[in-house]
Structure 1
C-alpha cells in the first residue's frame, strides 16, 4: 500500500510582500515599450509600473490592455514615430515583430537610448523573482495558464505572462502580482528563451519546429539544453520522462530533475483512474507516495500530462499538491484551445490554435472522445510556408481522426517571397489525400463558410484550427 505524501513547503518562495511591490532595479526608471499592446509586452509594462517605473509605449492597434494601462496613467501613442521618446528615457523595449527599420526604434538610436527585445526584458524581470519558465514544442500556453491559475487561487498572488487568454485569468494573458513567483512561457523560436533566468524550468516535449531558424532536431535539442543550463544548481528542472529528446537535452546537468510521466514510474506519475467524455481523472504519485487526486474539466490525455507538470511546478513554489490539483481540475482552458464557438445547422463549432502535427493529432483525438460526432470536419489553416514545407510528410498523416479536412491558403508570416513560392495549400491537400485521408482546398474563408453551411448538420462537429485568423470562419458560421 502506498504511503501518503506529506507536503514540505518552501516557505520563503511564494510569500507575498503584504500587497507591496517587490524591490526592483527598475524603480524610478523611464521605460518605453514599442508594441505595448502585445500580450507579453503589456504584462511586463504592468509589472514595471507596479515596481515604480515610469512607463510609456506605442501601438498602432490599441486594445483593452492598452486602455487599462492608459487608465493607470501610462502615455500610449498610436503612431510609432518617437514622439514620446526623449534623451532621459532609460530603456526601450521592442517586440520581435518590430524591425530595426521601425521609425521609433531609429529615433531611440538617435537619442542614444539603450534598446532590448522583449525576451531579454522578460529575463531581467524574471531574475528579480522566483521564475517559473515553461518550455516545449507544444502545450506551453495551457500549462503556463494552469500554473498561474493554481498559484492565484492558492493565494500565492503570482505575476504571469501567458501566450493566450483565459476567462479564469481575467480574460488577459498577463498579470502583475505581489507574490514572488513569476510564471512565463519560454519560446524556443529564434532561441529567445536563452534570455530567461528561471529558478524552475519545465520541459514539456521537444520536436521539430521553427525549422526556419534551426537546421534540424539535433540543433533544437541543443537549444533546449542551453535553456536548461540557465537554471541554477539550487533550482529545479521538471521534465517529460517519456520524451527521449528531453532526456538527451538534460543529460549530465548539475541541476536536480523531477521527471513526469503518465501510467509509468517517475518522480511525478499520474495513473489514469477514469475517462469521462475525454476528461481524464487520475491519482498523482510523488516519489512513490500518493500526493493528490485530479479530475480534469477539459478533454485530452495530453492535458492530463500538462496538469501533472503544473502540479509539480506549483509544488516547487511551495503549494500543496492536492490544493493545486483541485484548482487545476476546475481549469476550463485557454482561449482558442478546443473552445466552443456555438452551433451552425445544429452542428457544434469549436476553435483551436493547433498548428503543429502533434498538436493536431492530440486535439482531433480529444475532440472525438469529447463529442463523439457523427462526422468531424477540420478546417486547417497552415501557418507559415516554411513550417508547412519542412513538416509536410508529418502534416500529411496528422488528420486521421477527421472525416474531412478543408485547407484554405497558407497563412503568410515571416517567410520570404521565395519561400512562399515553394509550397502551397494544394500541395498539402495532395499529400493528405495520398495518405488515405480526405482533404479539399478552398482558398478563401467565404467559400469555406458557404461550403460548410450547405454540408453540416445535426451530430456533426467542425473545428477551425491554426495559429492564424482561421477562427474567423467559426465566428461567421455561428453568426448565422
Structure 2
C-alpha cells in the first residue's frame, strides 16, 4: 500500500546500510525526493554521503546499532552487507523488515513505464544515455544508475514523467525482480563467479529477467554478441514451447545483416563517433560524444529502446548527442604537462579490451598509452586473470596494483601475479605495485607530452587520477 506521499508505506522511514554504494545511494535519493525520511550509514565519509545530505538524508559514518532509529519502517541492504553487521542485527532484534536493494528499486518503479538495462558490460553507460536523452526531450524520467552523470552530476533522480530508467544488476540475480515495459540486454558473458558457476546459469538468469517484461512490452537485444544471440534463441525456443502468443516482441540491433535495427557505420572521430543505423526502413544518423565502438553500439541500444517506448527516432537520435559521459566511464580527469589522465571502471577483460582499444584509437602518432590497473575481486581474478593480463598487452606499459577485495575474503594463491605473469607472456611491459602511494611518481617517470594515462578498475584506483595529475604538474 502506498502512503499519502505516493511512496510505499514500508519506505516512509527507511534506513540504508551501506548507503554510499552506487545503487543504494540512488534509491535513497529518489525516496528522499519523493518525501520519505531517509537515513543510513556507510563505512567512510565520501562525496556521495555529502550529496545525500544535501537532499535531506541523514548519513552516519561507520556501522553501529545506535544508528538505527527504533521507528524505521524498513532496513535496506545490498548483497554486500554481511549478516553480522550491527545495524542488521539490531533490525532483527526490533523486528524491522529487511528489504533487499532490488526490492526497494522495484517498488519505486511500479506504476510507471519501466525501462531496465541489463548486460555484463555497458549497463551504466546505456542507462545514462537514456536518462540524459529523455530528459533533454522534456520527458522528465526518473532514473537510477550505477554512476554519476557528467551533466546533472548525480546517479539518480525522481522525475515528473511516467518513465523510469533503471540499471538492472545481474550479479546477484536481483534484476529478476523488475517488471519493465522495455528491457535491454547488451551482452551476456560469464562473470560474478561467486554467484554463477557456468554460462548455462547465466543464461537461465537472463531468461528469467526477459520473462518479467510486461505483456505488450519489448526485449531489445544485441545481434552481434554471442551470449546475447544465444539468449535470443533460448527466449524464442521457450516461447514456442509454451505456445506463447502474447509474449513481448524481440527487437535485435547490431552490425549483423539479420539485425532488426542494423548499424550501417560507426565512424570514429577523436573522442566522438558518428553512427548511422537503419530503423524501420529509415536511415538515422547521430553523434555519440564519447569514444569507442562499444559506446556507439550502446547508444544504438538506447535509441531502439526509446523508440519502443514511443519516442520519435529522429528526436531521440538528436538528443543522444547531448550525452557527455558518466563518471568512471572513460572520464577525462584532466591534463597536466601535456599528459591526459582518463578514468575507466573496466574490470572484466571484455571491458578492458574495449576501453584500451578506444583510447588507442584516440591517441595521435607515437603517443604512449600507460595503464594503472587495479584488479577487482579475488574470484574474478582467479577465473579471468589470464584474460586481464592479455588485455593489458594493448597498452605500452602498465602498473598493476594488488587486488581490491570489495566484499570478498582472500583466496589462497590468488594475487595480482596471475595477471602480471599473463601480461608478460603476452609481451606486455608490466610493473607490479604494492604501495599505491608510489604510483604518481612511477607514472610521472613513464610518460611525456602527448601521452595518455588510464586508471582502470572498479575499486579505489579512481582516487589516483588527481594525484597523478598533481605530480605531473609539479
| Alignment pair present for 1:461 and 2:452 | yes
| Alignment pair present for 1:162 and 2:145 | yes
**Secondary structure of 1:165's match?**
coil
The CA distance in 1 between the partners of 2:43 and 2:288, in whole Å, is 40
User: Which string of whole-angstrom CA distances, capped at 9 and with x for unpartnered residues, describes residues 418-447 of structure 1?
Assistant: x1x322212211111112333221222233
Closer, same or farther: CA 42–259 of 1 in aligned 2, 3 Å: same
Q: Is the 8 A contact 2:223 2:254 kept in 1?
A: yes
The CA distance in 1 between the partners of 2:77 and 2:266, in whole Å, is 47
User: Which string of whole-angstrom CA distances, capped at 9 and with x for unpartnered residues, describes residues 5-56 of structure 1?
Assistant: xxxxxxxxxxxxxxxx994443984333233333332332333344444433
Any stretches of 5+ residues in structure 1 without a counterpart? 1-20
Q: Is the 8 A contact 2:11 2:73 kept in 1?
A: no
Q: 1:361, CA displacement in angstroms?
A: 1.0
Report the counterpart of residue 27 of structure 2 in structure 1: 44
**Secondary structure of 1:351's match?**
strand
Q: Is the 8 A contact 1:86 1:111 kept in 2?
A: no
Report the counterpart of residue 345 of structure 2 in structure 1: 353
The partner residue of 2:329 within 331, 334, 337 is: 337
**Secondary structure of 1:133's match?**
strand
Q: Is the 8 A contact 1:142 1:333 kept in 2?
A: yes
Q: 1:375, CA displacement in angstroms?
A: 1.6
Report the counterpart of residue 210 of structure 2 in structure 1: 228
Report the counterpart of residue 140 of structure 1 in structure 2: 123
User: Which string of whole-angstrom CA distances, capped at 9 and with x for unpartnered residues, describes residues 86-112 of structure 1?
Assistant: 665332212333222122212211221
**Secondary structure of 1:92's match?**
strand
Q: 1:139, CA displacement in angstroms?
A: 0.5
Report the counterpart of residue 223 of structure 2 in structure 1: 241
Report the counterpart of residue 8 of structure 1 in structure 2: none
| Alignment pair present for 1:426 and 2:417 | yes
| Alignment pair present for 1:192 and 2:185 | no
The CA distance in 2 between the partners of 1:69 and 1:93, in whole Å, is 16
TM-score, normalised relative to structure 1: 0.88
**Secondary structure of 1:379's match?**
strand
The CA distance in 2 between the partners of 1:48 and 1:278, in whole Å, is 36
The CA distance in 1 between the partners of 2:58 and 2:307, in whole Å, is 39
Report the counterpart of residue 154 of structure 2 in structure 1: 172
The CA distance in 1 between the partners of 2:54 and 2:332, in whole Å, is 32
The partner residue of 1:366 within 330, 348, 358 is: 358
Q: Is the 8 A contact 2:273 2:287 kept in 1?
A: yes
Report the counterpart of residue 383 of structure 1 in structure 2: 376
| Alignment pair present for 1:316 and 2:308 | yes
Count of residue correspondences: 456
User: Which string of whole-angstrom CA distances, capped at 9 and with x for unpartnered residues, describes residues 289-325 of structure 1?
Assistant: 23x3111211111111000011112222322212111
Closer, same or farther: CA 346–154 of 1 in aligned 2, 3 Å: same
The CA distance in 2 between the partners of 1:431 and 1:220, in whole Å, is 26
**Secondary structure of 1:148's match?**
helix
Q: 1:146, CA displacement in angstroms?
A: 0.2
Q: Is the 8 A contact 2:291 2:358 kept in 1?
A: yes
Closer, same or farther: CA 461–100 of 1 in aligned 2, 3 Å: same
Per mean C-alpha deviation after superposition, the further-off stretch among 50-59 and 389-398 is 50-59
The CA distance in 2 between the partners of 1:76 and 1:347, in whole Å, is 38
TM-score, normalised relative to structure 2: 0.89
Q: 1:258, CA displacement in angstroms?
A: 0.8
Higher normalized contact order (CA 8 Å, seq sep 6+, divided by chain length): 1
| Alignment pair present for 1:119 and 2:102 | yes
| Alignment pair present for 1:472 and 2:463 | yes
Closer, same or farther: CA 40–343 of 1 in aligned 2, 3 Å: same
Q: Is the 8 A contact 1:264 1:271 kept in 2?
A: no
Report the counterpart of residue 10 of structure 1 in structure 2: none
Any stretches of 5+ residues in structure 2 without a counterpart? 240-246
Closer, same or farther: CA 298–29 of 1 in aligned 2, 3 Å: closer
Closer, same or farther: CA 431–75 of 1 in aligned 2, 3 Å: closer
Q: Is the 8 A contact 2:64 2:86 kept in 1?
A: yes
The CA RMSD measured in Å over matched residues stands at: 2.3
Closer, same or farther: CA 214–331 of 1 in aligned 2, 3 Å: same
Report the counterpart of residue 305 of structure 1 in structure 2: 297
The CA distance in 2 between the partners of 1:245 and 1:68, in whole Å, is 38
Closer, same or farther: CA 73–348 of 1 in aligned 2, 3 Å: closer
